Structure formats: structure tokens, C-alpha cells
Amino acid sequence: MRDYEAGFRLKEALVNLVFPRRCPVCDAVVPLGEGLICRQCVSKPQYITEPRCRRCGKQLREGEQEFCADCLRRRHVFDYGYALYDYQSMKKSIYRFKYGRRCEYAAFYAQDLYRRLSHELRLMEADAIIPVPIHRSRYRRRGYNQAELVAAELSRLTGIPMYERLVTRSRKTAPQKELTIQERQNNLKKAFNISTNVVKLNKTILIDDIYTTGSTLDAVALELKRHGVGAVYFIALCIGEGM
């Protein structure tokens, strides 16, 4: 394991010499040896902390609350999950990561997830990490699935195996951000398929970039539970405000 880690760090250093790493917050080149984020931006990400919703992980205003208004109004298929950042503080970063080919951001996100949520990840006792898939047409156009990049890094840090081909997106759907909650749910019906036998998996963690209403995660969780998975949790990079 030590040889693997040493080799990984050497390879990472060589790649960084040829393709300088950019700060995930401001997008400036990070000086060699400074880390994954520039010193000026270390304090800029706003993290979700307690109190947070016990179902979706949104930041709550009152410590006496257990659930946000959204989770009180509707029932989710996933069991529960967590988000790392407040969306407003990192929305430009996520946009560049998702659409601007800033794939190197994935290492920072995963390390930040592991540093902030390692206790929660251990309590989940998951058998698998599963990135939320994108449709093959979007994959061809973009060249990568941003959730898969984060999932791969998090799998390396935690030792939890990643199953990137277990769930596939069989139907191209309209962008969720343009739809109401009901439209989102209808939009995602029969959008996901399970490509292999998942009976051996008891607990899984879905990885996604942004949590909005949870409709996408619910749709994937529904298929996993239909195929025998006992519990489905999630980790998202960003989430909006709760109430």
C-alpha cells in the first residue's frame, strides 16, 4: 500500500509539472508544493455543519429541528445523506468542474469530503460507492462524468470499492434545473437501469455533485432497492439552504 501511495504521489507530481494544478475556488494556478488549493482561498468554501437535516443534510437554522421543510413535505427513497458545501460559496467551482474540464478539482473535493465526513462515512459501513451516471450522449460531449471522478478519488481514500458501471442512465432526460419537483420526478421515470446483479450489496453510497430536490438520487435509489440493496445513502458536493 505504501508503494502504491508513493507511486501515486510521484505520478501526480509529474503530471502537475506538465499540467499545472488550478485552485478549485479561484481557478488560478496553485504553486508547486502548496497543495490542492491556493492559500488565499482556504477559508472561502462554506461548509455545511450542524444543525443539518437528518435526511438530506441541508443546513438548518434551528438546532431543535430534525428535518428541513422539504423533507417534512415529501418522502425520499434514499435513506439519508450529507453534503459538503453550501452551494452559493462553490457554485462557480462546480460549474468549471462540470462544464469547464477542470477534472483536477476532483482530488480536492474528495480529500475535503474525507477530511470533513470521514466519521459519517465509517458509520454508513457501505459495500460500494456508486457515482450517479450521466447519459452516454452527455458523456461523449463532455468527455467525463464529474460524479465518477469524485467517486474514484473517494474510493481510493476510503478503500470502499467503486462500481461505476453498475447503474446506467438509459434515457436522456431534460435538465433538472428547469423543472418543478413533480416534473423532475416524471422526467426521471425509467431513466436508470441496473446493469449487473447487486444482491451481494447491502449498503451503498451514491455520489453526486449538486443536491437540489433529491429526485435524481431517489430515482437511482429506487432501482437499487428494487434489485435487493438494503440501504442507499448519498454524498453530494453542494446543497442549498434548508428551512
User: Tens digit of pLDDT for each residue in 83-121?
Assistant: 999 999 999 999 999 999 999 999 999 999 999 999 999
Q: Are residues 149 and 183 in the same domain?
A: yes
CB neighbours of 11 closer than 8 A, spacing ≥ 6? Answer: none
Q: Are residues 14 and 110 in the same domain?
A: no
| Nearest in space to 193 (alpha carbons), one of 238, 147, 226, 161 | 226
Range of the domain at 98: 46-239
Q: What is the reported pLDDT for 33?
A: 77
Please say if the pLDDT value at position 30 is more than 50: yes
Asked if residues 234 and 91 have their Cβ atoms less than 8 Å apart, the reply is no
Q: Are residues 214 and 186 in the same domain?
A: yes
Residues 187-234: pLDDT tens digits? Answer: 566 778 887 766 689 999 999 999 999 999 999 999 999 999 999 999
| Nearest in space to 205 (alpha carbons), one of 226, 183, 232 | 232
Please say if the pLDDT value at position 145 is more than 90: yes
Q: Are residues 86 and 5 in the same domain?
A: no
Q: Are residues 181 and 82 in the same domain?
A: yes
Q: How far apart are alpha carbons 2 and 208 in whole angstroms? A: 30
Q: Are residues 88 and 208 in the same domain?
A: yes
Q: Are residues 191 and 88 in the same domain?
A: yes
The domain tally of the chain equals: 2
Q: Are residues 52 and 40 in the same domain?
A: no
For residue 137, CA distances in Å to 17, 18, 150, 213, 227 come to: 33, 30, 20, 24, 26
Domain CATH for 52: 3.40.50
Q: Are residues 81 and 181 in the same domain?
A: yes
Q: Are residues 11 and 50 in the same domain?
A: no
Q: Are residues 28 and 65 in the same domain?
A: no
Lowest-pLDDT range of 7-11, 229-233, 234-238: 7-11
